Amino acid sequence: MSKETDTRKMQLLLQYAAKIAETRELDNLLAEIADMGRLLIGADRSTVWLLDEEKGILWTKVAHGVSRIEVPMDSGIVGESVKTKETIVSNDPYSLPFFNRDVDRSTGYTTKSLLTIPMFDEEGNVFGVFQCTNKITEDYKFTEEDVTLLHFITSYAEKTILAAQLAKEIEATQIEIIFLMSEIGESRSKETGNHVKRVAAVSERLAQLAGLSESDVSLLLHASPMHDIGKVAIPDSVLLKPGKLTDEEYATMKNHTAIGYHLLSSSKRPIIKAASIVTHEHHEKWNGSGYPRGIAGEDIHIFGRITAIADVFDALACARIYKPAWEKERVRKLFEEESGRHFDPELCKIFLEHFEEFYEIVDQYKDV
Ligand code: C2E
Ligand code: SIN
Ligand code: SIN
Ligand code: SIN
Ligand code: FE
Ligand code: FE
């Protein structure tokens, strides 16, 4: 390999490593790793196959120029590589008895050479295969150097894919635990799980309509059910009181914001961090007359301003232990009056423009 090629490959490698480090979606990761392999090796195509043992297949979303391919896990060169756990260099694949001609038949592509490397998890089990197709040289042959280089890329791919899968699992677990915690918190105030579902769904939709990024919308969706988690520290005599609260009881009740914040604020996890903001700020008001800090306007985090609308909407549109639900028109009127006072006027405008849609969301999760 010439010095120039070395330098170019090094550049490519660094470029992709940087891009891959920023990528979180598994599909995009696979596409970038496949691309990196193809360019570094100088192959016409590259494919990351993943093994689905339950279904007995190998499948891919990221084959170049073709949509999802699915083959039986024991078929073809890929299947052979999974079975034997060996790297297979085939510079004349049609001569191999186990070459799967169906793939070419269905893609209309002619495979002239294949470099196939199995990918292993930490326990040494094969979970997929990295494959390059048709070396772009006159003789189409993959060399020993290609094998070495693709081994290096494959071990990088293994670690990246496993890390992404683990991150996804951890996030899913977090989301589940957070939702369960919220439900447990609400069950004490005799609310069903529907209350947290409604606040979550209303917050999510309002965040979308307000133009928040997809990742912020998702953060808020998962964080907003936690807004009242601080009520775990409020005594039953206050929390479950059927009628109006005394001033003193109301002062006790107001502590649920600061309590929730202190419970959650030490976490570095994005969803918990978002939840700590929501618990802290969902009773702040646009004009500064809210609690616990009395902050105003955009000093209140957008997550807090959105959840404030979702929370009050739910408190009015649905019955509470201390009062029945309000008529729809009365609810609308309150939001019109409180725009710019309790609520962010821009959010309030969007909310009122889609008022019927929000009622439909609430009706979906109505308590019976
Ligand atoms: P919540 O029931 O989820 O109510 C959330 C917010 O909705 C309230 O925050 C308030 O801003 C609004 N809201 C609820 N009901 C009404 C209403 O009848 N009229 C108007 N204008 N707004 C209403 P707030 O006031 O800070 O209360 C926080 C939490 O304190 C409430 O959550 C509820 O759990 C409790 N709470 C408030 N007032 C009473 C009460 O009179 N009796 C009892 N038992 N609990 C109360
Ligand atoms: C691929 O090479 O990426 C897909 C299989 C083929 O078309 O031969
Ligand atoms: C095979 O692995 O036998 C065929 C896969 C391909 O053509 O890409
Ligand atoms: C809530 O509104 O968030 C809790 C339910 C209740 O106060 O009854
Ligand atoms: Fe609250
Ligand atoms: Fe609430």
Residues of the chain above pLDDT 90, percent: 59
Ligand 4 centroid to Cα of residue 287, in Å, is 23
Ligand 4 centroid to Cα of residue 253, in Å, is 11
Structure-model confidence comparison of residues 191 and 55, the more confident one:
55
What domain range is 241 assigned to? Answer: 189-364
How far is Cα 98 from Cα 167, in angstroms, rounded to an integer? 36
Residue 13 lies in a domain: yes
Question: In the structure, what pLDDT confidence band is assigned to residue 151 with cuts at 50, 70 and 90?
Answer: very high
Asked whether residue 11 falls in the same domain as residue 160, the answer is yes
Q: Do 275 and 264 meet the contact criterion of CB atoms below 8 Å apart?
A: yes
Residue 252 lies in a domain: yes
- Residues bordering ligand 5, an ion, CB closer than 5 Å: 228
How far is Cα 116 from Cα 131, in angstroms, rounded to an integer? 4
pLDDT at 1: 55
Given the residues 231, 244, 254, 323, select the one marked as catalytic. 231
302-361 confidence digits (pLDDT tens): 999 999 999 999 999 998 888 899 999 999 999 999 999 999 999 999 999 999 999 999
Asked whether residue 147 falls in the same domain as residue 244, the answer is no
Across 7-16, 51-60, 67-76, least confident range: 7-16
Question: In the structure, what pLDDT confidence band is assigned to residue 295 with cuts at 50, 70 and 90?
Answer: very high
pLDDT at 66: 61
Query: Per-residue b/e over 308-341, b at no fewer than 16 CB within 10 Å?
Result: bbbbbbbbbbbeeeeeebbeeeebbebbeebbee
Atom of ligand 3 nearest to the CA of 103: 7
Q: Do 228 and 246 meet the contact criterion of CB atoms below 8 Å apart?
A: no
Task: Please give all residues whose beta carbon lies within 6 A of any atom in ligand 4, as ranges.
Answer: 186, 189, 191, 195, 228, 315, 320-321
Ligand 3 centroid to Cα of residue 59, in Å, is 11
Question: In the structure, what pLDDT confidence band is assigned to residue 86 with cuts at 50, 70 and 90?
Answer: very high
How far is Cα 125 from Cα 75, in angstroms, rounded to an integer? 18
Last residue of a domain, one of 133, 166, 199: 166
Residue 338 lies in a domain: yes
Task: Please give all residues whose beta carbon lies within 6 A of any atom in ligand 2, as ranges.
Answer: 45, 47, 63-64, 66, 103-104, 107, 109, 111, 133
Residue 173 lies in a domain: no
Distances (CA, A) of 258 to 72, 261, 262, 278: 56, 5, 6, 11
pLDDT at 33: 86
Q: Do 122 and 162 meet the contact criterion of CB atoms below 8 Å apart?
A: yes
- Phi first, then psi, for residue 47 (nearest 5°) are -140, 135
pLDDT at 65: 59
Q: What CATH number is given to the structural domain containing 95?
A: 3.30.450.40
Amino acid at 93: P
Asked whether residue 230 falls in the same domain as residue 320, the answer is yes
Asked whether residue 201 falls in the same domain as residue 339, the answer is yes
Distances (CA, A) of 18 to 13, 64, 360: 9, 21, 45
Atom of ligand 3 nearest to the CA of 107: 7
**Mean pLDDT on 268-292:** 95
Does 133 sit in the ligand 3 pocket, CB within 6 Å?
Answer: yes
R_g (Cα) of the chain, nearest Å: 28
**Mean pLDDT on 66-80:** 87
Asked whether residue 27 falls in the same domain as residue 90, the answer is yes
Last residue of a domain, one of 106, 132, 166: 166
Asked whether residue 151 falls in the same domain as residue 295, the answer is no
Number of domains in the chain: 2
Which of 47, 80, 109, 131 has most ligand 3 atoms within 8 Å of CB, for mutation?
A: 131
Q: What CATH number is given to the structural domain containing 275?
A: 1.10.3210.10
296-308 confidence digits (pLDDT tens): 999 999 999 999 9
Parallel, antiparallel, or unpaired for β 57-60 and 126-135? Answer: unpaired
Asked whether residue 18 falls in the same domain as residue 134, the answer is yes
Asked whether residue 262 falls in the same domain as residue 360, the answer is yes
- First-to-last alpha carbon distance for the chain, in angstroms, is 73
Is the backbone peptide bond immediately before 292 cis, with ω within 30 degrees of 0?
yes
How far is Cα 37 from Cα 26, in angstroms, rounded to an integer? 16
How far is Cα 274 from Cα 282, in angstroms, rounded to an integer? 12
350: Cα separation from own chain's centroid: 26
Residue 179 lies in a domain: no
Residue 171 lies in a domain: no
Asked whether residue 118 falls in the same domain as residue 201, the answer is no
Inform me whether the pLDDT recorded for 366 exceeds 90: no
CB atoms within 10 A of CB 215: 10
Last residue of a domain, one of 151, 166, 181: 166
Task: Give me the residue label for tokens 């048709």.
Answer: 134
Atom of ligand 3 nearest to the CA of 111: 7
Q: Do 202 and 245 meet the contact criterion of CB atoms below 8 Å apart?
A: no
Ligand 3 centroid to Cα of residue 98, in Å, is 9
Residue 132 bridge partners (DSSP): 46, 115
How far is Cα 235 from Cα 77, in angstroms, rounded to an integer? 66
Atom of ligand 3 nearest to the CA of 81: 2
Ligand 2 centroid to Cα of residue 64, in Å, is 7
Asked whether residue 98 falls in the same domain as residue 205, the answer is no
Residue 177 lies in a domain: no
Does 118 sit in the ligand 3 pocket, CB within 6 Å?
Answer: no
Residues 255, 258, 262, 265: is their CA dihedral positive or negative? Answer: positive
Asked whether residue 84 falls in the same domain as residue 225, the answer is no
Ligand 1 centroid to Cα of residue 10, in Å, is 62
* Among protein residues, the one whose CA lies closest to atom 6 of ligand 2: 104
CB atoms within 10 A of CB 75: 17
Inform me whether the pLDDT recorded for 62 exceeds 70: no
How far is Cα 114 from Cα 49, in angstroms, rounded to an integer? 14
Asked whether residue 257 falls in the same domain as residue 324, the answer is yes
Residue 82 lies in a domain: yes
The pair of structure tokens assigned to 2 is 């010439």
How far is Cα 209 from Cα 350, in angstroms, rounded to an integer? 7
**Mean pLDDT on 152-173:** 87
How far is Cα 232 from Cα 272, in angstroms, rounded to an integer? 17
How far is Cα 309 from Cα 181, in angstroms, rounded to an integer? 22
Task: Please give all residues whose beta carbon lies within 6 A of any atom in ligand 1, as ranges.
Answer: 241, 244-245, 253, 283, 311-312, 315-316, 320, 322-323
DSSP H or E run through 311? helix 302-317
Task: Give me the residue label for tokens 């509470």.
Answer: 320
Average pLDDT, the chain: 90
How far is Cα 27 from Cα 31, in angstroms, rounded to an integer? 6
pLDDT at 238: 92
Atom of ligand 4 nearest to the CA of 228: 3
273: annotated active-site residue: no
191-225 confidence digits (pLDDT tens): 656 888 899 999 999 999 999 999 999 999 999 99
Question: In the structure, what pLDDT confidence band is assigned to residue 290 with cuts at 50, 70 and 90?
Answer: very high
